[in-house]
Amino acid sequence: MSFEPKILSFLCNWCAYAGADLAGISRFQYPPNTRVIRVMCSGRVDPAFIPKAFLAGYDGVLVLGCHPGDCHYLTGNLQAEKKMGLTRKLLDMAGIESERLLLDWVSAGEGERFSQVVRQFIEKVRHLGPFPLDGEMRGKLQAVKASLEGEKIRWMVGKGPELMERENVYGELLSKERLGEMIETTIRDELIKNRIIQLVETRPLSATEISETLHLKLKETLTYLVSLVGEGKVGFDPSEEGKIPRYTRNI
């Protein structure tokens, strides 16, 4: 039996959804593998929806908005581009195929293009195969979801343009390259910290065990553990008193 991918599609109300409607009226053919959610703007698609979709059993996620310059809300599609780009980075860092997420543009008059984009994406996901939703992958997706829902990443993405336009107290402007480096570091740190939380939620683990699982140096792992203990998110297993300390999730 051949594999048929399950695709979740977020369509902008003003362009992509109208394009899908035109595709139906014009009888442009595409496989019925996709479940559609209409949103007012592609910029309103929360990045946390992406790992949630994979956790719900979907094999791919498609986000379609207006072409750049044609957004009904002026810059909503540009915001979507930033958010989905960041989400792809997080997926790659977590070892999850970012090719399963696609952001593209379809106007209200492009019914044929809509059907073509859907067909090509379904074929691509079919080639990738079913999403490997095992226990380890669930942990990775939960960590990605928690990272995307966290205040740090949301603040960095939301305030990024402002940081490049306003001088700091020293009269300096933040360059685009420096902002990119800061965002890259932040998302890596948040992902690793949330991966640690996911690991110690199931059972107490030592710093060495966490390092080996996440392929990190012990010194780096200890730095993250100190931070998590300080934030009150991770604590020590009381049953291991007097032995090698093991870390557990604080409830």
Mean pLDDT score, 140-159: 89
pTM for the whole thing? 0.90
CATH class of 150-249: mainly alpha
Mean pLDDT score, 221-229: 96
pLDDT digits (tens, 9 = 90+) for 67-105: 999 999 999 999 999 999 999 999 999 999 999 999 999
Q: What integer pLDDT is reported at residue 185 of this predicted model? A: 92
Q: Higher confidence at residue 52 or residue 237?
A: 52
Per DSSP (E only), the strands in the chain are 7-12, 34-39, 60-65, 101-105, 205-206, 234-236, 246-249
Q: What integer pLDDT is reported at residue 179 of this predicted model? A: 79
- For the cut 70, the answer to whether the pLDDT of residue 60 exceeds it is yes
Q: Higher confidence at residue 238 or residue 124?
A: 124
Residue 111 CB-half CA count within 13 A: 10
pLDDT digits (tens, 9 = 90+) for 160-194: 666 666 766 666 677 778 878 888 999 999 999 99
Mean pLDDT score, 224-232: 95
The lowest-confidence range among 6-20, 91-105, 166-180, 203-217 is: 166-180
Q: What integer pLDDT is reported at residue 171 of this predicted model? A: 67
Residue type, 91: L
Q: Higher confidence at residue 124 or residue 2?
A: 124
CA distance 122 to 4: 8
CB 89 within 8 A of CB 180: no
- pLDDT bin (cut points 50, 70, 90) of residue 250 is confident
- For the cut 80, the answer to whether the pLDDT of residue 243 exceeds it is no
CB atoms within 10 A of CB 165: 9
The CATH classification of domain 7-128, taken from the options 1.10.1760, 3.40.720, 3.90.660, 3.40.50: 3.40.50
What does the domain layout of the chain look like in residue ranges?
7-128, 150-249
Residue type, 215: H
Q: What integer pLDDT is reported at residue 159 of this predicted model? A: 72
CB atoms within 10 A of CB 232: 8
Take residue 237 and report the two structure tokens written for it: 């297993």
Task: Concatenate the DSSP letters of all residues of 218-245 into one string.
Answer: HHHHHHHHHHHHHTTSEEE-GGGTTSS-
Q: What integer pLDDT is reported at residue 251 of this predicted model? A: 72
Q: What integer pLDDT is reported at residue 47 of this predicted model? A: 96
DSSP tag of 130: S
Mean pLDDT score, 207-227: 96
Q: What integer pLDDT is reported at residue 42 of this predicted model? A: 96
CB 42 within 8 A of CB 12: yes
Average pLDDT, the chain: 91
Nearest to 133 by CA among 51, 195, 45: 51
Q: What integer pLDDT is reported at residue 167 of this predicted model? A: 63
